[in-house]
Chains A and B, each alone.
Chain A
Amino acid sequence: MIVNHRAVGAIYRFEMARAWRTVMQSVISPVLSTSLYFVVFGAAIGSRIQEIDGVAYGAYIVPGLIMLTLLTQSIANASFGIYFPRFAGTIYELLSAPVSFFEVVVAYVGAAATKSIIIGLIMLGTAALFVPLRIEHPVWMVCFLLLTAITFSLFGFIIGIWADGFEKLQLVPLLIVTPLTFLGGAFYSIDMLPPFWRTVSLFNPVVYLVSGFRWSFFGQSDVGVEVSLAMTFLFLALCLTGVWWIFKTGYRLKA
Chain B
Amino acid sequence: MSPIISITGLAKTYATGFQALKSVDLEIEKGEIFALLGPNGAGKTTLISIVCGIVMPSEGTVTVGGHDIQSDFRAAREMIGLVPQELFTDHFESVWASVSYSRGLFGKKRDDAFVEKTLKDLSLWDKRDSKILTLSGGMKRRVLIAKALAHEPRVLFLDEPTAGVDVELRRDMWALVRKLRETGVTIILTTHYIEEAEEMADRIGVISKGEIIVVEKKADLMTKLGRKELRLALQEPLSEIPTSLAGHQLELGAEGSELVYTYDAQRDRTGITGLLTDLAAAGVHFRDLQTKQSSLEEIFVDLVKDKR
Chain A interface residues (CB < 8 Å from chain B): 1, 4, 6-7, 9-11, 13-14, 17-18, 21, 88-90, 92-100, 250, 254-255
Contacts and interface: CB of A to CB of B under 8 A. Distances in A.
B108 A98 contact: no
B53 A95 contact: yes
Interface stretch (B97-105, B208-216, B258-266, B286-294): B97-105
Contacts of A11: 105
The 9 closest A-B pairs by CB, nearest first: A10-B104, A89-B88, A98-B77, A98-B74, A96-B52, A4-B107, A95-B54, A97-B105, A98-B78
B105 A7 contact: yes
B53 A93 contact: no
Interface stretch (B3-11, B79-87, B172-180, B189-197): B79-87
16 contacts: A4-B74, A10-B100, A10-B105, A11-B105, A21-B92, A88-B90, A89-B86, A90-B88, A93-B82, A96-B53, A96-B77, A98-B75, A99-B105, A100-B74, A254-B54, A254-B55
Contact of A96 (B54, B75, B107): B54
Contacts of A13: 101, 104
Contacts of B108: 6
B147 interface: yes
Given A7-B105, A95-B53, A96-B80, A255 B90 contact: no
A17 B97 contact: yes
Interface in B39-59: 49, 52-56
A93 B56 contact: no
B217 to A, nearest CB: 29
Nearest to B157: A96
Interface residues of B, number: 36
B91 interface: yes
Given A1-B74, A95-B53, A7 B88 contact: no
Given A4-B74, A7-B107, 18 more contacts: A1-B74, A7-B104, A10-B100, A10-B101, A10-B103, A10-B105, A14-B93, A17-B97, A92-B84, A93-B147, A96-B52, A96-B80, A97-B77, A97-B105, A98-B73, A98-B107, A254-B54, A255-B15
B125 interface: no
Contacts of A89: 84, 86, 88
A98 B100 CA distance: 16
Contacts of A6: 104-105, 107-109
B106 interface: yes
B306 to A, nearest CB: 31
B90 A90 contact: yes
Contacts of B82: 92-93, 96
Contacts of B80: 96
Interface string B156-185: 000000000000000000000000000000
B130 interface: no
Contacts of B101: 10, 13-14
B107 A1 contact: yes
Contacts of B61: none
B104 to A, nearest CB: 3
